[in-house]
Structure 1
Amino acid sequence: MVSAEIHRVGSGEHPVIGLHGWFGSGQAWRPLWPHLDGATFSYAFPEYRGYGARRGVTGEYSIAEAASDVLAAADKLGFSSFSLVGHSMGGSVMQRVYADAPERVRSMVGISPVPASGVPFDEQTWQLFAGAAADPGSRRAIVDFTTGNRLTGVWLDSVVAHSLEHSDQHALDAYLRAWSSTDFHEEIDGSDVAVQVIVGEHDPALGEDTMRATFAEWYPRLEMEVMANAGHYAIDETPVALATCMERFLGQR
């Protein structure tokens, strides 16, 4: 994960690293970029092995490996300390970075984040998610479900197309098992770091109830925001409101 592969926005004094989700890539943050305060913050959007500019890069495709790569990228970028913003799977990676290097993390913002305990599935849901690497239709059904079955099919198709273009199938398959089953919550339980969690009102899985049972139990300084008119993909659904919400929080750290 070298700096040449990482999209940058802004040159402010507060470094922020944005970590994408399972169907995303560094480019998946694009709807947010025009609304970010580049005078205050210096954003970097790296990619995991198997995604975007790093397609074809092999590895374990684990949460720990992804976090190690993020720390290596921060070193190359010259970020001695930084805040983290993680969407979905990126929320798990974000917390692993914090667990490995708490002295370097100023604050964290999770956007519909995967908890540090992983995500349990019933058998039917697991079969849907497990089929997503090989089946674009399963990817589409997942995006539709996690946004409340309420958005245009044109957008659903665009998310699937982005995922197909920007990720390796075998990496996507391996990362599912990583983010769903990796549990390190005991390492971060009771942490003093400032954390904001932003969830969409239409996200049926990683919504407010899940966050209160996980993040709110582990992080005493947690601030919770429920984003109106959004499901799991607030980056696409409500980019202006999302940028405003997270930068209001980050600006206090």
Structure 2
Amino acid sequence: MPTTTATDGTPLNYRVFGDGPRDVVLVHGWMVSGAVWDSMLEKLDMTGLRLIVPDHRGTGASGRPASGYTLEQYAKDVLAVADHAKAQRFVLVGHSMGGQIAKWVAAESPSRVSGLVLLNTVPASGLPLPPDAAGLFRTSAGDREKQKTILGLACKQLSPESLEVLLKDSGAVSKDAIEQCFDSWTAGGFAHRLSAITAPTLVVATDDPFLPPVFLKQAVVGLIQNARMTHLPGPGHYPQVERPAETAALVSAFLAGNTAQA
């Protein structure tokens, strides 16, 4: 698997699927690694695509530094991976906190981003949680029962097999990543930058209990020019795991309609 180096020296691992002329970078969220995309990738129409799937610092096969778990640094990490993979212009597909990171990249480097797909994205303004939930989330590193509780709250159509895969992935995420990432995505703090995003944007909402469609329409779609929303009923927070075929179809349809922007 290819590895590059972040601006602070952290090793960043990523995987590449396909060899088509169009680059798509998939940006995962909190408490998981790039493996969270695997079920969806099996269903995705790969015609003409090259998919770049990084592991964020503190997850998967990437390095585990003591610091650097901010949205700004994550965005730099994504660009470092894109540069190493020689992806000059690309579509970003981001989930949850990964949607925040994708928006940061699209606002920071609009000339490089030809499209955005945001799956249950955390708003750029952040998502403060009630104290009890915040305590559960922030102290969940390496705690299978806490992470199982979080996934139980967040998901609606997760099979027992998929739950085990997610728990194995989540259990390997570093304590620094769990704690500092949580602080970063709940705080947000960059909604004022969204006006710089020029790429066509699809916001995918599900029946996520934390990020319902009405909320995403106001907090995300309304702040990005050329953004639209679609609703996938049924799954909760992880549609790419809960309903991989339907999620892949939405991504493929967006990519098919986005060819003129490539």
Indicate whether 1:220 and 2:225 are aligned: yes
| Kept in 2: contact 1:87–1:112 (CA 8 A) | yes
Following TM superposition, by how much is the alpha carbon of 1:155 offset from its aligned partner in structure 2, in angstroms?
3.8
- Gaps of at least 5 residues in structure 1 are none
Indicate whether 1:193 and 2:199 are aligned: yes
| Counterparts in 2 of 1:34 and 1:124: CA distance versus 1, 3 Å | same
Map residues 127-166 of structure 1 onto 2, 5 A cutoff: 127-148=135-156, 151-153=158-160, 155-165=162-172
Q: Report the counterpart of residue 63 of structure 1 in structure 2.
A: 71
1:246 corresponds to which of 241, 246, 251: 251
Following TM superposition, by how much is the alpha carbon of 1:10 offset from its aligned partner in structure 2, in angstroms?
1.5
Provide the C-alpha distance between the structure 1 equivalents of 2:160 and 2:45, rounded to a whole number of angstroms: 31
| Kept in 2: contact 1:55–1:168 (CA 8 A) | no
Following TM superposition, by how much is the alpha carbon of 1:31 offset from its aligned partner in structure 2, in angstroms?
0.5
**Amino acid corresponding to residue 232 of structure 1 in structure 2:** H
Following TM superposition, by how much is the alpha carbon of 1:190 offset from its aligned partner in structure 2, in angstroms?
6.8
Q: Report the counterpart of residue 179 of structure 1 in structure 2.
A: 185
- TM-score normalized with structure 1 length: 0.92
Q: Which moved more, 1:10-19 or 1:216-225?
A: 216-225
- TM-score normalized with structure 2 length: 0.89
| SS state at 2:61 partner | helix
| Kept in 1: contact 2:143–2:171 (CA 8 A) | no
**Amino acid corresponding to residue 196 of structure 1 in structure 2:** L
Indicate whether 1:48 and 2:56 are aligned: yes
Provide the C-alpha distance between the structure 1 equivalents of 2:162 and 2:89, rounded to a whole number of angstroms: 36
| Kept in 2: contact 1:114–1:206 (CA 8 A) | yes
The percentage of aligned residue pairs carrying the same residue is: 28
CA RMSD, aligned part only? 1.9
| Kept in 1: contact 2:201–2:227 (CA 8 A) | yes
Matched pairs, number:
250
Following TM superposition, by how much is the alpha carbon of 1:152 offset from its aligned partner in structure 2, in angstroms?
4.8
Q: Which moved more, 1:156-165 or 1:103-112?
A: 156-165
Deviation readout 1:23-64 (Å, 9 max, x if unpaired): 221122111122222222111001111111114244321110
Following TM superposition, by how much is the alpha carbon of 1:154 offset from its aligned partner in structure 2, in angstroms?
5.1
Following TM superposition, by how much is the alpha carbon of 1:123 offset from its aligned partner in structure 2, in angstroms?
1.7
Following TM superposition, by how much is the alpha carbon of 1:170 offset from its aligned partner in structure 2, in angstroms?
1.8
